[in-house]
Amino acid sequence: MRIITVNTNGIRAAERKGFFPWLAQQEADVVCIQETKAQPEQLTADAFRPAGYHCYYHSAEKKGYSGVAIYSKHKPDKVIVGMGFDDIDSEGRYLEVQLGKLSVISLYLPSGSSKEERQAFKYTVMDRYMPILQENANSKRDYIICGDWNIAHKEIDLKNWKANQKNSGFLPEERAWLDQLFEQESWVDGFRVVNQEADQYTWWSNRGQAWAKNVGWRIDYQVISERLQEKVQSATIYKDERFSDHAPLIIDYDYPLS
């Protein structure tokens, strides 16, 4: 089973940069997309309904903002739109498909970098999501939570960690939240199961020469149920082409979908 997650920073922009021809060659079972930045009426073209996939979108109420999507080769038993909180769901940040015992989620946690109010909102989302994550971890379902979590967990996960300790995305409170997730709540960072190397990033600022110099952050994850840890076969960050300021994260699992 191959699962791809990518923040497209505008799915229409990614389409113009060749994202969909690339995707058609990947043979992914499930594709999770964040930051579609599009309304339903802007996604009617065939390109946004790739052949062979059941396609689901959850757009933000605000135009040109946020939004998530999932493409699944297998028809889901159930599709859950939204986390269940009006202020979060109006921004189009959560979409879940249930495929038998497996739930795959496309998640876009807020960024707090623009202003203090957004950082405060980010914390409220984290506070409300943790009980849901605890409940999910204790259930009998398997979970793969794909997306842009907007937090780099450890020093190895961003190039300039010393200079970013007071910046959103690498704040002590944010990192402690991920510590709880991975160390106390038994969730697993799927990428790190098979890749412990440094300089593994999924996002690069558009400022300076960040991409060229690989001055990046690893903020896109596939967070998986503990029992799926042994199912991870390989993990790749695709950088040969650039569709967005984020790179696609591809993970293969020994997990047959019926």
**Confidence at residue 208, expressed as pLDDT on a 0 to 100 scale:** 87
Question: Token pair for residue 89?
Answer: 């769901």
Number of H helices, E strands in the chain: 7, 14
- Rounded to the nearest integer, the mean pLDDT of the chain is 97
Give the model's confidence band at 28: pLDDT under 50 very low, under 70 low, under 90 confident, else very high: very high
List residues bridging with 58 in a β-sheet: 68
148 is catalytic: yes
Q: Which of 232, 212, 116, 109 is nearest to 167 (CA)?
A: 116
pLDDT at 55 over 90: yes
* Residue matched to tokens 């995707």: 23
Average pLDDT over residues 177-199: 97
Name the active-site residue from 148, 157, 189, 220. Answer: 148
Three-state SS for 141? coil
pLDDT at 175 over 80: yes
pLDDT at 25 over 80: yes
**Confidence at residue 9, expressed as pLDDT on a 0 to 100 scale:** 98
Three-state SS for 151? coil
Domain ranges in the chain are: 2-253
Asked whether 143 and 186 are in contact (CB, 8 A), the reply is: no
Q: Which of 53, 57, 62 is nearest to 30 (CA)?
A: 53
pLDDT tens per residue, range 206-254: 988 999 999 999 999 999 999 999 999 999 999 999 999 999 999 999 9
* 179 Cα distance to chain centroid: 18
Q: Which of 107, 110, 103 is nearest to 136 (CA)?
A: 103
- Where are any strands of DSSP class E within the chain? 2-7, 30-34, 54-58, 68-72, 78-81, 94-99, 102-108, 142-148, 188-189, 203-204, 216-217, 220-224, 232-237, 249-253
**Confidence at residue 209, expressed as pLDDT on a 0 to 100 scale:** 94
Asked whether 178 and 121 are in contact (CB, 8 A), the reply is: no
pLDDT at 99 over 80: yes
pLDDT at 117 over 90: yes
pLDDT at 258 over 80: no
pLDDT tens per residue, range 71-90: 999 999 999 999 999 999 99
pLDDT at 176 over 90: yes
**Confidence at residue 110, expressed as pLDDT on a 0 to 100 scale:** 97
Pick one of 3.40.50.300, 3.60.10.10, 1.10.20.140, 3.40.50.2000 as the CATH number of 2-253. Answer: 3.60.10.10
Please provide residue 176's backbone torsions phi and psi, each rounded to the nearest 5 degrees: -65, -35
